[in-house]
Amino acid sequence: MSEAPSSPPQPPPLPEIILRGIGVADGIAFGPLHRLETAPPPVPEDPVPPSRAPVELRRLDAALAAATARLRELQANLAAAGNPDAAALFEAQLAALADPEYTGEIRTAIRASRLNAARAVQTVSGKYAAALAALADPYLRERAADVRDVALRLLRLLAGQADSADLPATPHILYARDLSPSDLAAAPRDSLLALATAEGGPTSHTAILARSLGIPALVGIPDWGPAAPPAPGPVLLDGTAGLLVFRPAPARQSAAAKRIRARNRLGARLAKLRDLPSETLDGTPIALRANIESPDAAPRVLAAGADGVGLFRSEYLFMDGSTLPDEDRQLRAYTSIARSLAPAPVTVRTLDLGGDKLTRHLDFPPEDNPAMGCRALRLCLARPDLFKPQLRALLRAAAESSNLRIMYPMVNDLADLRAAEAVRLACADELTAEGIPHRRDIPVGVMVEVPSAALTAAWLATHVSFFSIGTNDLTQYTLAADRGNERVAHLCPLAHPAILRLIRLTAAAAQVAGIPACVCGEMAWHPELAPLLVGLGVSALSTSPDAIPGIKHVIRSLRLDEARTLADHVLTLETPDAILSACRTFLSSHTPDLLDD
């Protein structure tokens, strides 16, 4: 019998093409790629005769007004969708549009240098952006992107184009050399599956916005230019692993589909925990609080099911906007967040500027070692003109919102605490003399983020109402490795044996004094570390609102005695890798669903 004709041999499948970048927002997506050209519209060269200058000035004014209205609309949409922190990202752009120096220079370029409106916007913005981009301070350097974003919007408006990028309404993964935060905010949310750019870094506003919106994102993906993409067809973007994969292999696609399904299932399950208490299986409460940067973050805190705010980084009030916030503006900010979340506690950390956190409103004299220089509480003690209005605003706000608490950053020891308290009590005396209502006995706590504070925690604990352990700074100071320097990043692991000992010491001191000890640094963000921290004696965790449901799931799945046994075992391990692996093993036996991603 003759054999059935065999089908002709298939050519081997073409290999995957993998571009590697930096994952800046977690998650995975699979879909068609859309490349967006973000180049500004061509700018006419023609000079403007003096008789036409008024027309160009009117066109400029109309563009400035339209750009302002559009940014406010984007802000309102983001805030209404529960993303007030993201909305706040546009404050710097609105400030630029209202900045008389910037807009005045554009007007002068039209009137005196005879440039048309578009050329004047391009020239002046280019100069401002270049000056900002050349600054040493990373925060101010990022503001160059804001100026470029504003300029792009104005140029599009002056060219009669839509002021935001035109994106498809069908599902797609977006690639752009660079994407402005406002173009991302205006993108149709239902169709934007994921985002990759060539430019930008993990702390760029576009990356922050992508994280707030839950859009998987990568930066640093090399640009293949205007030619066709490396391969046709749908692509797979993995924001967790930092990959953009062309022609993804079937096995990779099915693994990704499984992860997407698992993630969606987990999200739905975690959402159901919102109103359940954060307590271990044996009923020990572990408070879960939110870290926030803006007084408008209350909806996110509530949506996450957090028990108030464990860390309000008040310095962000001093970084955005066109001026430093005075006492009354701060009073409004603190009152508003405290009222929205009452009766849950709202912990405002006093100004933590200096080191890597600078503001254009203050001159910071150069220091050889700014992280170990005049920052945070040290700066406040040296600058009562900054510290006192903040303390007065907090004492006044606490008169009507009894859930407000004050927390001092970078406290070295009792002497620091006493110096800060002396200023606070002097503020209370002043307010009494002025007949202004305030709360003198507002709860006061300290951040334990310098090794000396951890080592003297037993003394500090008898003078404060709570501790909050800042593991980010505690790690950098204990290991003498700058947290912002990628050359020594390998020296700052997530969980180092030395840090665990300082946490245990601090938590034990808190327990003896009968005060709560929270962890509000990066360690609190990782679900696999939650059992260890609980086992070390920590009674509260404060982290980004988005991470809270997952951490609550972990807390509700463990018993206190198991967590303590884990901590005792982990304290015998010598390396960070061994510590992490023990924590992961514990997590996989309790909440394996959290390790899927």
Q: How far is the CB of 363 from ligand PEP (least distance, A)?
A: 21
Cα–Cα distance measured from residue 562 to residue 8, given in angstroms and rounded to the nearest whole number:
61
Q: How far is the CB of 353 from ligand PEP (least distance, A)?
A: 11
Give the residue with the Cβ less far from Mg ion, 349 or 424: 349
- How far CA 528 is from CA of 196, 252, 271, 534, in Å, comes to 28, 26, 19, 11
Choosing from 200, 220, 308, 470, the residue that interacts with ligand PEP (CB under 6 A) is 470
Q: Measuring CA to CA, which residue among 389, 290, 372, 388 is closest to residue 330?
A: 389
Instruction: Note whether 293 binds ligand PEP by CB under 6 A.
Output: no
Q: What is the CA radius of gyration of the chain?
A: 26
Q: Which of Mg ion, ligand PEP, none does residue 520 bind (CB under 5 to 8 Å by kind)?
A: ligand PEP
Instruction: Note whether 470 binds Mg ion by CB under 5 A.
Output: yes
Instruction: Note whether 521 binds ligand PEP by CB under 6 A.
Output: yes
Residues 6+ apart with CB under 8 A from 29: 173, 193, 194, 216, 236, 237, 239, 260
Cα–Cα distance measured from residue 394 to residue 331, given in angstroms and rounded to the nearest whole number:
7
Sheet holding 17-20, edge to edge: 17-20, 243-246, 235-238, 28-31
Give the residue with the Cβ less far from ligand PEP, 326 or 367: 367
Tokens for 355, please give them. Answer: 């080191």
Cα–Cα distance measured from residue 79 to residue 403, given in angstroms and rounded to the nearest whole number:
24
Choosing from 238, 296, 416, 473, the residue that interacts with Mg ion (CB under 5 A) is 473
* Active-site position among 205, 496, 526, 553: 205
Q: How far is the CB of 313 from ligand PEP (least distance, A)?
A: 5
Give the residue with the Cβ less far from ligand PEP, 44 or 373: 373
Instruction: Note whether 503 binds ligand PEP by CB under 6 A.
Output: no
Cβ atoms of 136 and 142 within 8 Å: the answer is: no
Tokens for 507, please give them. Answer: 């938590």
Instruction: Note whether 593 binds Mg ion by CB under 5 A.
Output: no
Size of the site for Mg ion (CB under 5 A): 3
Cα–Cα distance measured from residue 255 to residue 16, given in angstroms and rounded to the nearest whole number:
15
Instruction: Note whether 526 binds ligand PEP by CB under 6 A.
Output: no
Cα–Cα distance measured from residue 591 to residue 401, given in angstroms and rounded to the nearest whole number:
38
Instruction: Note whether 293 binds Mg ion by CB under 5 A.
Output: no
Residues 6+ apart with CB under 8 A from 560: 280, 282, 284, 534, 535
Annotated catalytic residue 520: yes
Helix (H) or strand (E) holding 497: helix 497-513
Instruction: Note whether 348 binds ligand PEP by CB under 6 A.
Output: no
Q: How far is the CB of 357 from ligand PEP (least distance, A)?
A: 7
Question: 């972990």: which residue's tokens?
Answer: 554
Cβ atoms of 30 and 236 within 8 Å: the answer is: yes
Which span sits near ligand PEP by CB under 6 A: 272-280, 358-366, 467-475, 552-560?
A: 467-475
Choosing from 183, 293, 449, 482, the residue that interacts with ligand PEP (CB under 6 A) is 449
Cα–Cα distance measured from residue 355 to residue 424, given in angstroms and rounded to the nearest whole number:
24
* Active-site position among 520, 526, 553, 583: 520
Secondary structure of residue 200 in the 3-state scheme:
coil
Q: How far is the CB of 353 from Mg ion (least distance, A)?
A: 12
Give the residue with the Cβ less far from Mg ion, 370 or 470: 470
Instruction: Note whether 354 binds ligand PEP by CB under 6 A.
Output: no
Choosing from 116, 278, 280, 471, the residue that interacts with ligand PEP (CB under 6 A) is 471
Give the residue with the Cβ less far from ligand PEP, 352 or 593: 352
- What track of x and - describes contact with Mg ion for positions 427 through 466 (by CB under 5 A)? ----------------------x-----------------
Backbone angles phi, psi at 365, to 5 degrees: -60, 140
Annotated catalytic residue 380: no
Which span sits near Mg ion by CB under 5 A: 73-81, 248-256, 270-278, 469-477?
A: 469-477
Size of the site for ligand PEP (CB under 6 A): 10
Tokens for 456, please give them. Answer: 């003297």
Q: How far is the CB of 352 from ligand PEP (least distance, A)?
A: 6
Q: How far is the CB of 96 from ligand PEP (least distance, A)?
A: 26
Give the residue with the Cβ less far from Mg ion, 273 or 410: 410
Query: How does 223-250 read in b/e, with b if 16+ C-beta sit within 10 Å?
Result: eeeeeebeeeebbbbbbeebbbbbbbee
Q: How far is the CB of 514 from ligand PEP (least distance, A)?
A: 24
String of DSSP letters for 392-445 = HHHHHHHHH-TTEEEEESS--SHHHHHHHHHHHHHHHHHHHHTT----TT--EE
Q: How far is the CB of 519 from ligand PEP (least distance, A)?
A: 8
Instruction: Note whether 445 binds ligand PEP by CB under 6 A.
Output: no
Give the residue with the Cβ less far from ligand PEP, 520 or 567: 520
Query: How does 258-273 read in b/e, with b if 16+ C-beta sit within 10 Å?
Result: ebeeebeebeeebeeb
Cα–Cα distance measured from residue 168 to residue 487, given in angstroms and rounded to the nearest whole number:
41
Comparing every residue's Cβ against Mg ion, the nearest one is 473
Give the residue with the Cβ less far from Mg ion, 246 or 477: 477
Give the residue with the Cβ less far from ligand PEP, 109 or 492: 492
Instruction: Note whether 315 binds Mg ion by CB under 5 A.
Output: no
Cα–Cα distance measured from residue 90 to residue 516, given in angstroms and rounded to the nearest whole number:
37
Q: Which of Mg ion, ligand PEP, none does residue 524 bind (CB under 5 to 8 Å by kind)?
A: none
String of DSSP letters for 6-65 = PPPPPPPPPPPEEEE-EEEE--EEEE-EEEE--PPPP-------GGGHHHHHHHHHHHHH
Q: Which of ligand PEP, Mg ion, none does residue 471 bind (CB under 5 to 8 Å by kind)?
A: ligand PEP
Q: How far is the CB of 578 from ligand PEP (least distance, A)?
A: 23
Instruction: Note whether 472 binds ligand PEP by CB under 6 A.
Output: yes
Cβ atoms of 537 and 507 within 8 Å: the answer is: yes
Instruction: Note whether 375 binds ligand PEP by CB under 6 A.
Output: no
Residues designated as active site = 205, 520
Binding residues (CB under 5 A) for Mg ion: these are: 449, 470, 473
Binding residues (CB under 6 A) for ligand PEP: these are: 311, 313, 352, 449, 470-473, 520-521
